[in-house]
């Protein structure tokens, strides 16, 4: 198996979050997490809210939170277009905790005015952000 590094670009509409050579990446596909190594079969996948796990050539592990998007690879390079993506040090833990509490409160209320799907999505985003901020 070829273990040569390949490039991963994680990009949002506002900025480049990550652009470096890597050894592997694991991403949250809409039908489950998947991994990519050098020479992976070319493909495109939609992404859901989750954690992106990156291994650099020196063995360093990096995690990012994402709120969905798309990923494509040609086997030599991976481009991940994210709705949102954050490194652990960029996450405001207090804000994420408040968002989690608000979403939990909305889900507990279950009044007709509450958009349950939106509240669940907000809760998942907050939980992922808190996990990434905690280094899990």
pLDDT in tens, 56-91: 999 999 999 999 999 999 989 999 999 999 999 999
Q: Would the pLDDT of 1 be above 80?
A: no
Averaged pLDDT, 37-51: 94
Confidence check: pLDDT of 26 > 70: yes
| Residue 79 burial (10 A CB sphere; 0-12, 13-18, 19+) | middle
Q: What is the arithmetic mean of pLDDT over 87-104?
A: 95
- The string of DSSP codes covering 119-131 is HHHHHHHHHHHHH
Q: For residue 62, what are the contacts with CB-CB under 8 A and spacing of at least 6? A: 18, 53, 54, 55, 56, 87
How far apart CA 38 and CA 64 sit, in angstroms, is 20
CA–CA distances in Å: residue 37 to residues 9, 12, 55, 80: 14, 22, 10, 14
Q: What is the mean pLDDT of residues 40-49?
A: 95
pLDDT reported for residue 135 = 56
Question: What's the average model confidence in pLDDT over 9-35?
Answer: 96
Instruction: Name the CA dihedral angle for 17, 32, 100, 120, rounded to a multiple of 10 degrees.
Output: 120
Structural domains in the chain, sorted by start: 6-86 (2.60.15.10), 92-133 (1.20.5.440)
Would you place residue 105 in the very low, low, confident or very high pLDDT band (cuts 50, 70, 90)?
very high
């Amino acid at each position: 198996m070829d273990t040569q590094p390949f490039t991963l670009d994680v990009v949002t509409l506002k900025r480049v979050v990550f652009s470096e050579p890597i050894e592997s990446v694991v991403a949250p596909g809409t039908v489950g997490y998947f991994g990519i190594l050098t020479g992976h079969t070319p493909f495109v996948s939609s992404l859901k809210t989750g954690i992106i796990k990156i291994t650099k050539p020196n063995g360093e592990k990096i995690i990012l939170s994402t709120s969905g998007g798309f990923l494509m690879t040609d086997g030599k390079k991976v481009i991940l277009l994210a709705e949102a993506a954050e490194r652990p040090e960029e996450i405001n833990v207090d804000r994420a905790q408040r968002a989690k509490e608000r979403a939990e409160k909305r889900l507990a209320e279950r009044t007709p005015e509450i958009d349950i799907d939106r509240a669940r999505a907000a809760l998942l985003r907050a939980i992922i952000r808190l996990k990434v901020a905690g280094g899990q």
